[in-house]
């Protein structure tokens, strides 16, 4: 099983690093899960520095800061910023969970035809970090203002 990122098609990916999504929010798509999270500027530069999950304490501080940005973007009427913050919270969960499941966060053996590595070899404190991020990610998704804006955005823009 070869990971999807090895055959990544940059030309057809809807998020582009050269676009300023604050100036051109009409070009932003919600997409699935965390898509675009490491590309969309200026949000990547605003939110990314807070994204950490090495320990539960760091994850708590990080997810609190990102959730505060999420709320701030909503207060400013900036749906794209709020959605990007929500994606960083989701990514905090998924990445911490991967480190909890796999030693060093490595899911595939690159030296052995990308065979899936053994689960359960990861770090236990990453599971707690994942739980912390998941709690704030779900709180963001459950925010009624965000949910309304997301539904509207997807109906109008995709």
Output the DSSP codes for the chain: ---GGGG--GGG-S--TT-BTTT-GGG----STTTTTTT-BTHHHHHGGG---SSHHHHHHHHHHHHHHHHHHHHTT-HHHHHHHHHHHHHHHHHHHHHHHSGGG--EETTTTTEEPPSS-S-HHHHHHHHHHHHHHHHHHH-HHHHHHHHHHHHHT-
Report yes or no on 87 lying in a domain. Answer: yes
Report yes or no on 31 lying in a domain. Answer: no
Report yes or no on 65 lying in a domain. Answer: yes
Report yes or no on 22 lying in a domain. Answer: no
For the entire predicted model, the pTM comes to 0.86
Report yes or no on 26 lying in a domain. Answer: no
pLDDT by position in tens, the chain (length 158): 566 666 666 677 788 889 999 999 999 999 888 988 999 999 999 999 999 999 999 999 999 999 999 999 999 999 999 999 999 999 999 999 888 887 766 666 667 666 665 666 656 788 999 999 999 999 999 999 999 999 999 999 87
Report yes or no on 9 lying in a domain. Answer: no
Number of domains making up the chain: 1
Report yes or no on 73 lying in a domain. Answer: yes
Structural domain range at position 132: 41-156
């Amino acid at each position: 099983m070869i990971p999807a990122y090895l055959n990544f098609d940059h030309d057809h990916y809807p998020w582009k690093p050269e676009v300023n999504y604050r100036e051109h929010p009409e070009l932003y798509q919600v997409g699935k899960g965390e898509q675009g999270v490491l590309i969309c500027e200026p949000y990547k530069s605003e939110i990314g520095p807070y994204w950490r999950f090495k320990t539960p304490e760091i994850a708590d501080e990080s997810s609190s800061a990102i959730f505060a940005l999420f709320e701030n973007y909503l207060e400013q009427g900036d749906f794209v910023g709020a959605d990007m913050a929500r994606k960083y919270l989701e990514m905090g969960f998924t990445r911490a969970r991967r480190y909890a499941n796999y030693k060093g966060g490595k899911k595939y053996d690159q030296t052995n035809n990308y065979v899936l590595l053994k689960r359960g070899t990861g770090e236990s404190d990453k599971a707690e970090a994942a739980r912390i991020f998941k709690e704030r990610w779900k709180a963001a998704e459950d925010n009624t203002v965000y949910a309304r804006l997301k539904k509207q955005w997807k109906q109008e823009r995709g």
